Each structure stands twice: as structure tokens, then as C-alpha cells.
Amino acid sequence: MTRRLLLLLLPIGFLGVALFLYQGLGRDPSHRDSALMARQFPAFEATTLRDENRQVDQTLLTGDVTLVNVWGEWCPACKQEMPQLLELADQGIRMVGINYRDTREKGLEFLSEFGDPFDVNVFDPEGSLGFDLGVYGAPETFLVDANGVIRYHHKGYVSPEDVRERILPEVEKWR
């Protein structure tokens, strides 16, 4: 009798595994949190997109809650999320852009065509700041608090729902 009971553990054990598989179904396997969450924004030194003589560094991101958006002219989703970013800027949120793996010419062309919600655009043609941020494709958006600590990370396209349901609440939370 005990043998039968032991054998009954087999289907029960399998159902346990199946439960995990079921949980996995609703998830996006490519979704990951940034490794920099709750850490200081990486140190950098770079020029800005508009002015090749102006040097900026990580102190750019202290003093106020800032949304940092990594974009490039070559990235179609960046163009599509611009209206949402402009709306965020209209709401008084400080925006900083990182022009990632781009040329000055193309980047400025992009801004004049799709609008410029950014306070400053950091020029990152080699993607070295992007690399230190763990960026592996644009667009990516980081929320940095007044102390320069990364508090939220959004990978990919920012939709109007994302703005309402995730980004605005996060901004409020860290203000």
C-alpha cells in the first residue's frame, strides 16, 4: 500500500512542475530589470549633442528627479515614443536624453523633426555611456532620483499606458 502511495507522488510532483510552467506562460522571457537598479548613475564625461564644447558629467543628474531616455535616430520605436516623452516634459518632469550610437547631424535632424523634450542631450556616439548603463538596444528609459540613484528602468517603447500606469507613479514616488 505504501508503494502505491509513493507512486502517487509522481503525478503530484509533475503537477507541481506544471504549475511553474503555467506561471511562466504569462511572462515575457525577454523582460529583465536593469542591473543598475538602486545604484548610483554611472560616472561619465561627455559633450552634449547641441554643443560639442560643453562638457557634462554625472552631476547633471543630481538635484532633481530626472527621466533619462536613451535614443538614436536609427531606432524606429524612439520616434514612436516621442509624443509620450513630450507630454512628460510638459508635465514638468526633467528629461535628459542620451543620443546613443548616432552622429550629431542625424541626432539634431531627429530632434527638429520629432521634437525635443530634453533639458540636455548627452552625446554618446560610441555607446560607452550606454554600455555602462547596461543598455543593449534603444529605446531605454531610466528614472534617476535627486541623489543620482537609478530607481526605475523601462526597456523598449514607452506607450501612453506606460506613462500613466508606471512612469508617472514612479516619478511621484521618488520626488
Binding test (CB under 8 A) with other proteins, winner from 59, 131, 146, 165? 131
Q: What residues have CB less than 8 Å from 126, skipping those under 6 apart?
A: 101
43 to 72: interface string for other proteins, x by CB under 8 A: ------------------------------
Q: How far apart are CA 118 and CA 19, in angstroms?
A: 45
- What letter represents residue 98's amino acid? I
- What letter represents residue 25's amino acid? L
CB 138 within 8 A of CB 131: no
Pairing of strands 45-47, 55-57: antiparallel
If one asks whether residue 127 binds other proteins (CB under 8 A), the answer comes out as yes
Which residues on adjacent β-strands are paired with residue 157?
Answer: none
Q: Give which of 44, 31, 28, 49 is closest to 102, Cα–Cα.
A: 49
* Cβ atoms < 10 Å from Cβ of 57: 11
Q: Give which of 167, 70, 78 is closest to 121, Cα–Cα.
A: 70
> By CB under 8 A, what part of segment 4-23 binds other proteins?
4, 7-8, 10-11, 14-15, 17-18, 20-23
Binding test (CB under 8 A) with other proteins, winner from 120, 138, 167, 171? 138
Binding test (CB under 8 A) with other proteins, winner from 101, 104, 125, 151? 101
In the complex with other proteins, which residue's Cβ is closer, 18 or 146? 18
User: How many residues sit in the footprint of other proteins (CB under 8 A)?
Assistant: 47
Q: How far is the CB of 127 from other proteins (least distance, A)?
A: 6
If one asks whether residue 2 binds other proteins (CB under 8 A), the answer comes out as no
Contact residues toward other proteins (CB under 8 A) are 3-4, 7-8, 10-11, 14-15, 17-18, 20-30, 32-36, 74-78, 80, 101, 127, 131-134, 136-139, 155-157, 159, 162
